[in-house]
Structure 1
Amino acid sequence: MSSTSAASFSSFSSSSFSTVRSPVLNHLLAAVERLTPLQLAGSWDNVGVMIEAPYPRQEIKGKKQVLTCIDLTTAVTEEALASSSTAAVLTYHPPIFSGLKSMTLAVPLQASLLRLSTHGIPVVCIHTASDSSIGGVNDHIASAFTLDLRATSKAIEESKEQPEGHEGCGLGRLVTLDHALNKHEVVKRIKHTLNLDHAQAAWAPNGAEKIKTIAICAGSGSSVLSGVKADLYLSGELDHHATLLCNAKGIHVILTNHSASERPWLKPFAPRLAKAMNEEAGGDAYETKGDGSYVVKDYNNVQQGYNGLYNNPQHGSEGLLFKDRIYQTLDPLDHHIFPPPPWLPAPEGRWGKLATLASIIPLISS
């Protein structure tokens, strides 16, 4: 490198680079600590700053945007870079989870982080901190029953840390209704709150006729819900054998798909984040973008997970009996709980032609 080039680089570095955290990142982290305190995250989790930007964006005119997302995909990265107003990205799932020995462009997630940092955009993750916080992901799911019904909701695993404003916080939620609901009403409320066209249901043959207690865990609920006494488990996903065990114990299961249980929370959370950041900044400096609601229906129309729908047509549900095995297909009333797979022939009459499923459905022991 020539002396002239070296001098120019040195001048650029000293005038542009700073080891002091940018105001945008400070305001974002302060807002996060108010809304989803990072100390509430699981000890195994990775939350907080994923990557900083040594040269924060200087060209932003007007309000600075914080892009919220569930996952830092390449598409999210492109969206962030396409807008000259993007000042930071807040992601739910951590783009860095386990220890790294290098950061390279060959790995898509790492490439996204490097590209964003290079363009002056830091990335922050909140994951299980937002699951446990008051007003967080699990509370949003629970609002399907607590918003307009007489009910109580408490954490399944109360956090050791109880920050101010988050008293009673913790993983999962156990909702107890004053008056039990039929399964159709429960499904209807879940689909409405999470903006879903479809959900997966496994009704326990010996389960409660009406549902009064609902154990909730966003994302993957196997560990949090294990052993909880409730009429219904509601989660994004549950292990295949755990679902069978729940049904054997008389516990109904409703699954929404993993991120579909998390994503809808971003819509009410985003304006709260902008408000908190503006309060930290002392002015109207920030806005949020990306509630994610446009993704949910498309995501849940993907044909997957059909071997998780097991049970018999008690409680008024329609199904088809193969000897002593039954594949449930319809809600008790007039809409599908889940979409028919593409290989399923068009139904005829109330039962439909489901004979082709006989060789496909897993045999569940009676």
Structure 2
Amino acid sequence: MPTLADVIAVLEAAYPPELAESWDAVGLVCGDPAEPVTKVLVCVDPVDATVDEALAQGAQLIVAHHPLLLRGVHGVPADTPKGSLVHRLVRGGAALLCMHTNADNAEPGVSDALAKALGLKITGPLVPETNSGRIGEVDPQPFAEFIDRVGIALPETAGGVRAAGELSRTIETVAVCGGSGDSFLDAATAAGVDAYVTADLRHHPASEHLAKPGAPALVDVAHWASEWPWCAQAAGVIEVAFDGTVDVTVSTLRTDPWTAAWATRRS
């Protein structure tokens, strides 16, 4: 029977910890590497809802994309939100493994999963130095049609999909970056793509980007939605390695923090 250590070894081979950014906190948060693992839940966020889901299913391991303890932590008392999760996991016999920027920078990684979900033919990384983001090709289509494509391909969220650019513009080459990607706006422009799909775009960087000659059109999606396709990729890594001896579930719970959106209007 595979142990937690066995599963960690397989995932770290796919998403090497050394690929993580220096500020990140990846790896095992809690759990005994010697304990057996027969059921795993893969999710984006280690939050109350996904911990509930894992414990209800009897999972011995949660594989999450986002870290639970990213900032400096000096204790995990049970009367704090994150400490409570750690105590619940330990009491329930479930481990937590976080694969964050190491999964972003791996090949294939988070952006590969996003590109695949959008039906892109990947041609290379957006930022070769760090292997961040991906560039891909799509059959020529108006930007309006491409926006619909993104909305259909990704899970529904309250905020939906926002876009900036001429709707009749022809889209053939696309850059993507799962998660917050406004730091790569210049890279997308330099790559000469027609559109850039990412999350968490802010007003000023987006406005300044669009004012530049040759800037690609922008598609802004929910952070959670942009990274959720990776869950199936990570689940596949485990399933292939253990060939039916480990049951893997991808969480479909929407853990995007936004619950509603309204368009502003004048009375």
Structure 1 residue 46: Cα displacement: 1.1
Counterpart position of 1:202: 164
1:111 counterpart (68, 81, 84) = 84
Query: What is the rounded CA distance, in whole Å, between the counterparts of 2:148 and 2:234 in structure 1?
Result: 23
* Deviations, residues 119-160 of structure 1 (Å, cap 9, x unaligned): 33221111112222223221122125555xxx4421122356
Q: Secondary structure at the match of 2:188?
A: coil
Structure 1 residue 355: Cα displacement: 4.3
* Deviations, residues 19-63 of structure 1 (Å, cap 9, x unaligned): xxx952211112202322222222221111112248947xxxxx8
Q: Secondary structure at the match of 1:226?
A: helix
Amino acid at match of 1:158: P
Counterpart position of 1:302: 259
1:176–1:214 contact (8 Å) kept in structure 2: yes
Query: What is the rounded CA distance, in whole Å, between the counterparts of 1:231 and 1:237 in structure 2?
Result: 19
Q: Which has the higher strand share?
A: 2
Residue 228 of structure 1 pairs with residue 228 of structure 2: no
Query: What is the rounded CA distance, in whole Å, between the counterparts of 2:8 and 2:31 in structure 1?
Result: 12
Bigger radius of gyration among the two: 1
* Deviations, residues 261-291 of structure 1 (Å, cap 9, x unaligned): 1113313432332222x16xxxx421112x2
Counterpart position of 1:174: 135
Query: What is the rounded CA distance, in whole Å, between the counterparts of 2:258 and 2:22 in structure 1?
Result: 34
1:86 counterpart (46, 55, 59) = 59
Amino acid at match of 1:172: G
2:62–2:96 contact (8 Å) kept in structure 1: yes
1:274 counterpart (239, 246, 251) = 239
Query: What is the rounded CA distance, in whole Å, between the counterparts of 1:52 and 1:301 in structure 2?
Result: 31
1:69–1:292 contact (8 Å) kept in structure 2: yes
1:214–1:232 contact (8 Å) kept in structure 2: yes
Q: Secondary structure at the match of 2:135?
A: strand
Query: What is the rounded CA distance, in whole Å, between the counterparts of 2:172 and 2:251 in structure 1?
Result: 31
What percent of counterpart residues are identical? 27
1:217–1:234 contact (8 Å) kept in structure 2: yes
Go from structure 1 to structure 2 and tell me whether the alpha carbon gap of 1:193 and 1:135 turns closer, same or farther (over 3 Å shift): farther
Cα RMSD for the two superposed structures: 2.9
1:251 counterpart (205, 216, 224) = 216
1:67–1:86 contact (8 Å) kept in structure 2: yes
1:155 counterpart (104, 125, 129) = 125
Query: What is the rounded CA distance, in whole Å, between the counterparts of 1:140 and 1:201 in structure 2?
Result: 21
Amino acid at match of 1:173: R
Q: Secondary structure at the match of 2:3?
A: helix
Query: What is the rounded CA distance, in whole Å, between the counterparts of 2:253 and 2:76 in structure 1?
Result: 31
Counterpart position of 1:242: 205
TM-score (norm 2): 0.84
Give the unaligned 5+ runs of structure 1. 1-21, 58-62, 161-169, 305-340, 345-353, 357-366
1:49 counterpart (24, 28, 49) = 28
Query: What is the rounded CA distance, in whole Å, between the counterparts of 2:33 and 2:233 in structure 1?
Result: 31
Go from structure 1 to structure 2 and tell me whether the alpha carbon gap of 1:55 and 1:82 turns closer, same or farther (over 3 Å shift): farther
TM-score (norm 1): 0.63
Q: Secondary structure at the match of 2:23?
A: coil
* Deviations, residues 38-90 of structure 1 (Å, cap 9, x unaligned): 22222221111112248947xxxxx811111111111222222233x311111
Go from structure 1 to structure 2 and tell me whether the alpha carbon gap of 1:225 and 1:292 turns closer, same or farther (over 3 Å shift): farther
2:43–2:50 contact (8 Å) kept in structure 1: yes
